[in-house]
Structure 1
Amino acid sequence: MLAEWQNHKAQLRAYVTKRIDDVDAVDDILQDVYIKASVNLHQLKSAGSLKGWLYRIAHNTLMDFYRARQHFDELPDNLVAQEQDTGAEARAELAECLRPLIDELPEKYSIPLRLAELEGMPQQQIADQLGLSLSGAKSRVQRGRVKFREQLMACCDFEINEHGISGYSAKDPTRQCR
């Protein structure tokens, strides 16, 4: 192994030197390459592939060198973690805006829709609470959504972009949509 190493050492040194900005570390990296090659010599499939195998080890050792050198700035001690915005407050505010429109729907649709969409109740629980079959509850929630959408589209104009609704305005400014 030592004789083969001597044949490729100069080429490996040039390879490492071109890829590293710390001249003092070149010898350390070459030493790591030699140690890794010596320890893992049993993994070499054929003597003909030794040169490529050594370059692969050199490449991986260089990557390890750069990973170890990554420096991170220390965070200040007085840094306070920001609260995670789960969107719960925004959903609650939106629910209060939509509640009057849902309440204008016929009761057989408004109650299941309010329970499903504003209170997040599972449809089986809605069915149990209202004395309906599961398919009946699903149907009422679905029909309530359709009627609610029709009511919303009659009341407001929406601006939609690739991210969803970007703005809205009342169709009739003199009529206030509840």
Structure 2
Amino acid sequence: MEHHWQLHKAKLRSYLARHLNHDADTDDILQEVYIKAHTQWHTLKSQTSLSAWLHRIAYNTLMDHFRQSKPWDELPDSLESPDADETEMAHQQLSECLRPLMEELPEKYRVPLEMADLDGKNQQQVADELGLSLSGAKSRVQRGRILLKEKFTACCDIEVGRGGVTSFSPKKPGSQRC
């Protein structure tokens, strides 16, 4: 085992070092790989697959290391969440911005979209009021959403968080026709 280990040790160390920031971590994981390989030597089916077998152990050990480590700092308890009024104001500004963009949509998509998303009607009600089949109403609402999204993302930079859109701003003038 020792002879085989020495033949592959440099390659394994190089592989691990490419994925880790610290030499100490690399050495620790390399040592874990050696221990696992030594204790599992009896599971090796063929000497010809030794290199692949050792690399698989190194990969699995590296993944275990990443799963156990926390690459981020915990947020302090004193961190305040965004003010609800700011979020509400962003939503209000966003809705004022969406109305003109919706008005640019073709009527066959705009009307069902307004009924479903602004008036709060379910799609069966939209279908009944417009004389459409349910699948036709669903199709028009979905197509309207897609067209509106395309217009909106062409004109605005959007920031999305847990509560939906948290911030948006117009793109540079002249970058798109808005």
Q: Structures share a fold, TM > 0.5?
A: no
Structure number with bigger Rg: 1
Structure of greater relative contact order (alpha carbons < 8 Å, 6+ residues apart) = 2
TM-score by length of 2: 0.43
